[in-house]
């Protein structure tokens, strides 16, 4: 029993720190969601408005729904590409390869580059007048595209940058998972005459599933917070074509100074993330 | 013949992937070493005829130095405090009975999963009230909270792998539990502690959202400084790329030191690679 108390004392500083810097702020901003507070108009004070902020967001605020749609688009498109390419490259690398360990180091570089730098680099590459991307599309297909200003294309531009940054993560964990798969069932299946596709579909993939779900959990939560790369790449534009809900909450709070309304937006976002991540965690625990 | 075809089928896609991975990095460095009159041309110049270091000088002259120093100071300070709080917490969670320990650990992790935009609005108001906006201390305090869940999970994983016998032996020899932690356990997981430190440094260094809201001039970090290169002064690609390169090199060097535990680091210790 004394040991338990002792352990609790050791963990206490950490718990108190997190309580005061995340839980307390969250409770405070939950309170804010019931007020109308405009920092730019201090004369109006901070009237209590009940559920009005939530009502306005859900019923009247088209911009909220557009940004949520953008977020979900980036989420699904990026995830699909990252998992397909990441697992594919991991399968390629899961064998004796000359210089394999160096190749692995090289392929992981994007994970460490500051996201704001990633936004800066891709903005230069996608620049419509001087960018490399338009040079390539010009010599290959004879066309130049408006990568950053055409509302239909710009969404893909954002996905390209995210896929460049995060595919290495899927690759990394998949490769680690592949290398820990026991060889015996694979060999048995091969002797029994299973094709490569069948082996992958019915043996490799199910064995890989536990780590892939963890990757999915981490990626989903990160994609809901998508912010840094877009900041420099498009700043949410043109218009709100690439604005995520995180960016919208940011603009509402720090450009329009409507703190109550912004808090309500971020709370709805928080709620959605919690809902989805709980579902994924259930999938992990059921195993 | 078939074997040859097989190895082409492996190496060709790998080469393409490597080129796609490295090209943006090459382009950043390439742009940083050209004059802007060579950057803003079509077709783009892939291999510059003459290289210049002028962008690196002008980026420092135009105020790039202090943000770099701020990033160093803030990353180091926040990481140091994080580890100091995380070690005892991780030890406690690894040794506490699982009923408590697992739930507490999950709660700690959930703090990291929150969208920063939800906490940054109240944190902005708190720091404003305390007069800590745009100070090093303010950002350090926030980054400790940002990195703590990660550090606790990493260290807990490393500590849980140490056989209990090792600790029990030290306790029998009359060590107190804290002495056993400091003298027996921590030396065993030195590699784990170093890995955790490096990841915390990288996360703090790369962070942008908190930094851009909570700092302005005094304490602004290098990521904030890079973000200023759009909109305000038109296209100054050379300088922006020079500062981006300066901001990227330290992280890439650090990342080389954690290759062995990279899977763990990127998954909060949930996957042991």
Looking up residue B189, the CATH number of its domain turns out to be 1.10.3720.10
Neighbours of A286 (CB within 10 A): 6
The secondary structure of residue A113, as a DSSP letter, is S
Mean pLDDT check: name the lowest of A35-44, A164-173, B92-101: B92-101
User: Residues A185-198: pLDDT tens digits?
Assistant: 888 888 888 888 88
Task: Give the range of the structural domain holding residue A138, as residue numbers without chain letter.
Answer: 50-285
- The C-alpha atoms of residue B196 and residue A25 are separated, in whole angstroms, by 26
**In the prediction, which pLDDT does B64 show?**
87
3-state secondary structure chain B: CHHHHHHHHHHHHHHHHHHHHHHHHHHHHHHHCCCHHHHCCCCCCCCCCCCCCHHHHHHHHHHHHHHHHHHHHHHHHHHHHHHHHHHHHHHHHHHCCHHHHHHHHHHHHHHHHCCHHHHHHHHHHHHHHCCCCCCHHHHHHHHHHHHHHHHHHHHHHHHHCCCHHHHHHHHHCCCCHHHHHHHHHHHHCHHHHHHHHHHHHHHHHHCCHHHHHHCCCCCCCHHHHHHCCCCCCCCCHHHHHHHHHHHHHHHHHHHHHCHHHHHHHHCCCCCCC
Per-residue pLDDT, averaged over B125-140, amounts to 95
**In the prediction, which pLDDT does B34 show?**
92
pLDDT above 90 as % of chain A? 63
Q: Which residue of A6, A32, A117 is in closest CB contact with B248?
A: A117
Per-residue pLDDT, averaged over B254-266, amounts to 91
Q: Is the residue at A37 inside a domain?
A: no
Structure-token pair, residue B23: 């090209």
In this predicted structure, the answer to whether residue A16 has a pLDDT above a threshold of 90 is yes
Q: Is the residue at A20 inside a domain?
A: no
Q: Which residues of B touch A218 (CB under 8 A)?
A: 266-268
CB pair distance less than 8 Å for A221 and B108: no
Per-residue pLDDT, averaged over A59-85, amounts to 96
Q: Is the residue at B15 inside a domain?
A: no
Structure ipTM over 0.95, yes or no: no
CB pair distance less than 8 Å for A273 and B115: yes
Non-local CB neighbours of B199 within 8 Å, separated by 6+ positions: B150, B154, B258, B265
Q: Is the residue at B236 inside a domain?
A: yes
Per-residue pLDDT, averaged over A257-272, amounts to 94
Helix (H, G, I), strand (E, B) or coil at A235: coil
Q: Is the residue at A139 inside a domain?
A: yes
Position of tokens 């959930």?
B110
Give the N- to C-terminal CA distance of chain A in Å, as an integer: 32
Q: Is the residue at B74 inside a domain?
A: yes
Q: Is the residue at A9 inside a domain?
A: no
Q: Is the residue at B237 inside a domain?
A: yes
Per-residue pLDDT, averaged over B178-198, amounts to 89
Q: Is the residue at B271 inside a domain?
A: no
Q: Is the residue at A251 inside a domain?
A: yes
Task: Give the range of the structural domain holding residue B254, as residue numbers without chain letter.
Answer: 66-266
**In the prediction, which pLDDT does A180 show?**
87
In this predicted structure, the answer to whether residue B233 has a pLDDT above a threshold of 60 is no
Per-residue pLDDT, averaged over A168-191, amounts to 89
Best A18, A87, A180 member to test B by mutation, with max B CBs in 10 Å, is: A18
User: Residues B38-54: pLDDT tens digits?
Assistant: 888 888 888 888 889 99
Q: Is the residue at A31 inside a domain?
A: no
Mean pLDDT score of chain A, rounded to an integer?
Answer: 91
Report the CATH number that the domain containing residue A236 is assigned in CATH: 1.10.3720.10
Q: Is the residue at B31 inside a domain?
A: no
State CA A89 to chain mean position distance: 20
Per-residue pLDDT, averaged over A145-152, amounts to 91
- The C-alpha atoms of residue A46 and residue B69 are separated, in whole angstroms, by 40
Domain tally for chain A?
1
Q: Are the C-beta atoms of A158 and A115 separated by less than 8 Å?
A: no
CB pair distance less than 8 Å for A32 and B202: no
Q: Are the C-beta atoms of A107 and B21 separated by less than 8 Å?
A: yes
CB pair distance less than 8 Å for B244 and A121: yes
Helix (H, G, I), strand (E, B) or coil at A33: coil
In this predicted structure, the answer to whether residue B232 has a pLDDT above a threshold of 60 is no
Mean pLDDT score of chain B, rounded to an integer?
Answer: 90
Domain tally for chain B?
1
- Nearest CA among A173, A8, A10 for reference residue A82: A173
**Total-model pTM:** 0.93
Neighbours of B106 (CB within 10 A): 11
The band of A283, judged by pLDDT with boundaries at 50, 70 and 90, is confident
Q: Is the residue at B253 inside a domain?
A: yes
The band of B70, judged by pLDDT with boundaries at 50, 70 and 90, is very high
Best A27, A112, A113, A233 member to test B by mutation, with max B CBs in 10 Å, is: A112
**In the prediction, which pLDDT does B273 show?**
67
């Amino acid at each position: 029993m004394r040991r338990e108390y002792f352990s609790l004392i050791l963990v206490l500083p950490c718990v108190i720190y997190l309580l005061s810097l995340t839980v307390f702020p969250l409770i405070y901003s939950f309170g804010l969601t019931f007020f109308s507070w405009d920092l730019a108009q201090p004369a109006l004070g901070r009237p209590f408005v009940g559920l009005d902020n939530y009502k306005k967001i859900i019923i009247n605020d088209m911009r909220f729904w557009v940004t949520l749609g953008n977020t979900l688009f980036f989420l699904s498109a990026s995830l699909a590409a990252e998992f397909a390419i990441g697992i594919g490259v991991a399968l390629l690398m899961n064998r004796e390869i000359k210089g394999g360990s160096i190749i692995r180091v090289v392929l992981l570089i994007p994970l460490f580059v500051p996201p704001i730098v990633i936004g800066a680099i891709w903005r230069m590459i996608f620049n419509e007048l001087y960018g490399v991307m338009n040079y390539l599309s010009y010599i290959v297909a004879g066309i130049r595209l408006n990568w950053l200003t055409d509302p239909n294309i710009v969404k893909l531009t954002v996905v390209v940058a995210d896929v460049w940054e995060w595919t290495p993560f899927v690759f990394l964990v998949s490769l680690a998972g592949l290398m820990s798969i026991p060889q015996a069932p694979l060999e048995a299946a091969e002797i029994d005459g299973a094709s490569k596709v069948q082996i992958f579909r019915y043996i490799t993939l199910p064995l890989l599933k536990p780590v892939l779900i963890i990757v999915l959990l981490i990626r989903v939560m990160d994609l809901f917070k998508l912010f840094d790369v877009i900041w420099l790449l498009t700043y949410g534009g043109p218009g709100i074509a690439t604005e995520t809900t995180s960016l919208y909450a940011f603009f509402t709070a720090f450009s329009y100074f409507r703190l109550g309304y912004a808090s309500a937006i971020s709370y709805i976002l928080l709620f959605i993330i919690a809902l989805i991540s709980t579902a994924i965690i259930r999938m992990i625990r059921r195993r | 013949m078939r074997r040859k075809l097989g190895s082409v089928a492996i190496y060709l896609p790998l080469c393409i992937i490597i080129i796609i991975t490295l090209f943006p990095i090459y382009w950043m460095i390439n742009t940083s070493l050209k004059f802007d009159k060579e950057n803003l041309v079509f077709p783009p110049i892939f291999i510059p005829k003459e290289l210049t270091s002028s962008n690196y000088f002008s980026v420092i002259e135009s105020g790039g130095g202090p943000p770099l120093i701020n990033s160093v100071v803030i990353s180091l300070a926040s990481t140091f405090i994080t580890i100091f709080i995380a070690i005892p917490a991780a030890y406690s969670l690894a040794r506490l009975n699982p009923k408590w320990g697992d739930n507490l650990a999950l709660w700690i992790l959930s703090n990291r999963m929150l969208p920063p935009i939800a906490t940054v609005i109240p944190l902005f108001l708190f720091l404003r009230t305390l007069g800590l906006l745009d100070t090093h201390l303010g950002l350090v305090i926030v980054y400790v909270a940002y990195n703590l869940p990660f550090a606790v999970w990493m260290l807990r994983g490393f500590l849980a792998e140490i056989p209990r016998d090792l600790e029990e032996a030290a306790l029998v020899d009359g060590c107190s539990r804290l002495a056993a932690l400091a003298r027996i356990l921590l030396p065993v997981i030195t590699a784990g502690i170093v890995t955790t430190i490096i990841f915390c440094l990288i996360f703090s260094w790369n962070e942008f959202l908190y930094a851009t809201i909570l700092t302005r001039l005094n304490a602004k970090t290098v990521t904030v400084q890079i973000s200023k290169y759009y909109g305000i002064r038109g296209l100054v690609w050379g300088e922006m790329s020079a500062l981006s390169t300066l901001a990227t090199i330290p992280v890439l060097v650090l990342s080389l030191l954690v290759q062995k535990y990279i899977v763990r680091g990127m998954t909060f210790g949930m996957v042991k690679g």
